[in-house]
Amino acid sequence: MSCLQGMEAMRMWPVDTSNVNIGIGDFFGGNVVDPINVTDPTERLDILTGRLRIRQLPDNAETDSAFRVMVVDNTNDPLERGVVKWKDITSLIPPLTADCEWTMPAAAPNHVYTAFAPLADPDCPDDKEAVAVGVDLSISPPMAKFTTLTDDYDIAGSFTNTSISAATTGVYVEAIGGDANTGIVIRATQGSGDNKGIGIKAVGIGSSAHNYGVRVDLSGTSTRTRGFSAFTTGATYTAYAGEFIAYDNAT
> What's the pLDDT tens digit per position in 122-142?
778 888 899 999 999 999 899
Question: What's the domain range around 76?
Answer: 10-92
- What is the chain's mean pLDDT, rounded? 83
Quick check: 1 and 7 in contact, CB under 8 A?
yes
Does the residue 15 lie in any domain?
Answer: yes
Q: What is the largest CA-CA distance in the chain?
A: 106
- Peptide bond between residue 105 and the one before it cis (omega within 30 degrees of 0): no
Question: How many domains is the chain built from?
Answer: 1
Residues in the chain, total: 251
Residue 250 confidence (pLDDT): 56
CA 113 vs CA 100, 106, 162, 163: distances in Å? 10, 13, 22, 21
Does the residue 85 lie in any domain?
Answer: yes
Indicate the Cα dihedral angle 190, 192, 196, 201, nearest 10°. Answer: -140
Does the residue 242 lie in any domain?
Answer: no
Extract the residue ranges of the chain whose pLDDT is less than 50.
1, 96-97
Model-level pTM greater than 0.75? no
- Give the DSSP letter of residue 31: H
Does the residue 209 lie in any domain?
Answer: no
Residue 206 confidence (pLDDT): 58
Does the residue 175 lie in any domain?
Answer: no
Residue 96 confidence (pLDDT): 45
Quick check: 202 and 213 in contact, CB under 8 A?
yes
Cβ-count burial 41-67 (b if 16+ within 10 Å, e if not): bbeeebebeeeeeeeeeeeeeeeeeee
| Backbone angles phi and psi of 132, in degrees to 5 | -135, 150
Does the residue 75 lie in any domain?
Answer: yes
Does the residue 32 lie in any domain?
Answer: yes
Residue 233 confidence (pLDDT): 80
Residue 148 confidence (pLDDT): 93
Does the residue 201 lie in any domain?
Answer: no
